[in-house]
Structure 1
Amino acid sequence: MTVAEELPSEIDTGLLRDALNEVRRVIVGQEHMVERLLVALLARGHCLLEGVPGVAKTLAASTLATVVGGEFARIQFTPDLVPSDIVGTRVYHPSREAFDVELGPVFVNFLLADEINRAPAKVQSALLEVMAERQVTLAGQTHPLPRPFIVLATQNPIESEGVYQLPEVQRDRFLFKVRVGHPSAHEELEILHRMSVAPPTPRAVLDPARLAALQAMADQVSVHQLVADYVVRLVMATRSPAEYGLTELEENIEIGVSPRATLGLVAAGRGLALLRGRDYLLPDDVRDVAVDVMSHRLMLTFDALADGVDPEDIVRQILAAVPPPLVVWNQGPR
């Protein structure tokens, strides 16, 4: 591959902008959520959306699936769900005296796991192989999922009845955890005007093949050694905060983030850089995605949980304490 082929072309960057604008044509406000969803696609990562009902979490996921193209399925998670409802099962046919494998609804490009914290532990654990390996094993046979594949999950943070908290190992499988808040007064008025009469219908801008090419292009985004070192320092600050002048965090952090956070910071930063039209990663890209990549991976102490310490605030303290490097890229003629 030549250097020219590795650089993001104007056409590819324009397609990403068109896809982003098409989602924004349907979704009013929620700029942060919409951008993170597209970055998760470029980084091949799963995304967990947390917010109260009615803030367009499900609409954003279904709209993005339409804009990007590919197959889409929505599973409404409930307490009576069983693993075979999502991954599939074997069905016996008496006429042939044989079993057939019936694949479940996870065999799509975009899987919306709606209210994922309403499903019991067995169902949540059934998603681990799906999310980590992008495959399903049934009756001793492995069935690969379509590519690209991404899980977009939603959960309600204020629900308490019939809710099963996601275990740490499953939260770690999500690249992002994005908090979705209420719209502003101006956005609320725009929602009323846009959605109360004839809601806009999204159109397909990309297709799975083009998305796969963009994902490969994101993999080629250059990462300077200083930026890689900065990513590692951010991660190590969650494990040994005293070494970075953050002694007060030692009583709040039980276990720091996993190596998946290190990989996630680089992958998400690369996707964000490509979305911004660059073929190189800047420390600002890493800082912009750090809260969404790291906060849900922190395990807090019992006292911190009892005091209501927000893990996002901890990540912001780390970002303020760990200085970013000064990286100057050579912007010569291409």
Structure 2
Amino acid sequence: MQYQNEVEAVDALHQSFNRVKAEIGKVVVGQDDIIKSVLIAIFSNGHCLLVGVPGLAKTLLVQTVAAVLDLDFNRIQFTPDLMPSDIIGAEILGEDRHFKFIKGPVFSNIILADEINRTPPKTQAALLEAMQEKAVTAAGQTHRLPQPFFVLATQNPIEQEGTYPLPEAQLDRFMFHIQLNYPAFADELNIVRNTTSNKAIKLEKIIHADDIQYFQKLIRDIPVTDNVLEYAVKLAAKTRPNTEYATEAVNKYISWGAGPRASQFLVLGAKCHAAISGKYAPDIEDVKAIAEPILRHRIVRNYRAEAEGLSIEKIIKDLL
């Protein structure tokens, strides 16, 4: 894929995004903001954590994204007895009396980690290492994962008995924490109409793995002005209690704030949000547009905030 200049490349990304979003919308109804966030994460080379009750089309969304982007897709159902080798693979003794590595399901472009909080920390860590390093290590050998590589993990917010919540340090590896809500009445009507008939929807493959990797590189090349950079870094700094930029509410209600990775994702996400909107450089509005899902899982409320029913979302909105 070759373009004359960066302006032409950004225009191509803008058009590709709209075509991909429209194609996914044929199958996934009424989740425009979710689709947009997932695509921003993919083009920014990040990962997503989806939190929502069962039946909100999380699996269907990932399968549809993989089909439209012409990528390989694997689903891993996380259970309490799942072992790290069930995810990354294992060495076995072959017929020739030599050990060989059998790749696990993590060797794919898009991974759906279903109910990631249902498996013990050791197994969670195996996936999270792959997310961070884009590689896995087995028997002292490093095996690179296919590129692009994107993990979409899901959590059920209502059944918490027998779960292993992800520690804050591991949550930090996800670019976005996306909350799924019930569909609007009109959207649910369309969903039921489409899924209770024999109507088959044929999806077109819009872009391919090479295109995505090109766009991921393009996002990093997009220029950002100093005032936007400072706004993003200051926004992350404001969430840290008892520091220079902390607000009174943050000092009162927050135990821990967002780290430097939040600042990085705010800038990357703003660049991507600008590009898919047809702009050639991000502004402060682009940072604001993606701030909530980036900061949501990086801020820890104290007991006072929980007792007063103050949500993370309310705190973020006040900071913005």
- Shared fold by TM > 0.5? yes
The aligned residue for residue 86 of structure 1 is 87
Label 1:251 to 1:67 Cα distance change in 2 as closer, same or farther (>3 A): same
Instruction: Number of aligned residue pairs: give it.
Output: 318
The alpha-carbon deviation at position 160 of structure 1 amounts to 1.9
**Separation (CA, whole Å) in 2 of partners of 1:218 and 1:104:** 30
The aligned residue for residue 213 of structure 2 is 212
The aligned residue for residue 230 of structure 2 is 229
Label 1:219 to 1:6 Cα distance change in 2 as closer, same or farther (>3 A): farther
**Separation (CA, whole Å) in 2 of partners of 1:315 and 1:203:** 38
The alpha-carbon deviation at position 25 of structure 1 amounts to 1.1
**Separation (CA, whole Å) in 1 of partners of 2:188 and 2:236:** 38
Q: Secondary structure at the match of 1:159?
A: coil
**Separation (CA, whole Å) in 1 of partners of 2:98 and 2:305:** 55
**Separation (CA, whole Å) in 2 of partners of 1:26 and 1:86:** 29
The aligned residue for residue 175 of structure 1 is 175
Q: Say yes or no: does 1:60 pair with 2:61.
A: yes
> 2:114, 2:153 within 8 Å by CA — same for their partners in 1?
yes
**Separation (CA, whole Å) in 1 of partners of 2:84 and 2:310:** 34
> 1:6, 1:220 within 8 Å by CA — same for their partners in 2?
no
Q: Could you list the runs of 5+ residues in structure 2 that have no partner in the other structure? A: none
The aligned residue for residue 103 of structure 1 is 103
**Equivalences for 1:193-272 in 2 at 5 Å?**
193-197=193-197, 198-240=199-241, 243-244=244-245, 246-272=247-273
The aligned residue for residue 21 of structure 1 is 22
The aligned residue for residue 32 of structure 1 is 33
Q: Secondary structure at the match of 1:160?
A: coil
The alpha-carbon deviation at position 9 of structure 1 amounts to 4.9
Q: Secondary structure at the match of 2:5?
A: helix
The alpha-carbon deviation at position 151 of structure 1 amounts to 0.3
**Separation (CA, whole Å) in 1 of partners of 2:297 and 2:224:** 24
> 1:72, 1:110 within 8 Å by CA — same for their partners in 2?
yes
The aligned residue for residue 118 of structure 1 is 118
Label 1:11 to 1:247 Cα distance change in 2 as closer, same or farther (>3 A): closer
Identity of aligned residues (%): 39
> Deviation per CA, 1:216-250, whole angstroms, max 9, x where unpaired?
22122221100001011101111147755731321
The AA in structure 2 aligned to 1:233 is K
**Equivalences for 1:284-295 in 2 at 5 Å?**
284-295=285-296
> 1:52, 1:156 within 8 Å by CA — same for their partners in 2?
yes
**Separation (CA, whole Å) in 1 of partners of 2:92 and 2:173:** 30
The AA in structure 1 aligned to 2:208 is D
Q: Secondary structure at the match of 2:35?
A: helix
> 1:46, 1:151 within 8 Å by CA — same for their partners in 2?
yes
> Deviation per CA, 1:251-300, whole angstroms, max 9, x where unpaired?
22111101100000011111111111112001111001000001101122
**Separation (CA, whole Å) in 2 of partners of 1:268 and 1:224:** 15
TM-score, normalized by length of structure 1? 0.90
The AA in structure 2 aligned to 1:189 is L
> 1:8, 1:278 within 8 Å by CA — same for their partners in 2?
no
The AA in structure 2 aligned to 1:280 is A
Deviates more, 1:24-33 or 1:3-12: 3-12
Q: Secondary structure at the match of 1:27?
A: coil
Q: Could you list the runs of 5+ residues in structure 1 that have no partner in the other structure? A: 320-334
**Separation (CA, whole Å) in 2 of partners of 1:315 and 1:250:** 14
> Deviation per CA, 1:91-137, whole angstroms, max 9, x where unpaired?
123x4222111111101111110111111111111112101111000
Q: Say yes or no: does 1:165 pair with 2:165.
A: yes
> 2:232, 2:263 within 8 Å by CA — same for their partners in 1?
yes
Supply the RMSD in Å over aligned alpha carbons: 1.9
TM-score, normalized by length of structure 2? 0.94
**Separation (CA, whole Å) in 2 of partners of 1:313 and 1:201:** 41
The alpha-carbon deviation at position 172 of structure 1 amounts to 0.2
**Separation (CA, whole Å) in 2 of partners of 1:11 and 1:274:** 9
**Separation (CA, whole Å) in 1 of partners of 2:200 and 2:116:** 27
> 2:238, 2:246 within 8 Å by CA — same for their partners in 1?
no
> 2:115, 2:156 within 8 Å by CA — same for their partners in 1?
yes
The AA in structure 2 aligned to 1:69 is D
**Separation (CA, whole Å) in 2 of partners of 1:9 and 1:256:** 33
> 2:239, 2:246 within 8 Å by CA — same for their partners in 1?
no
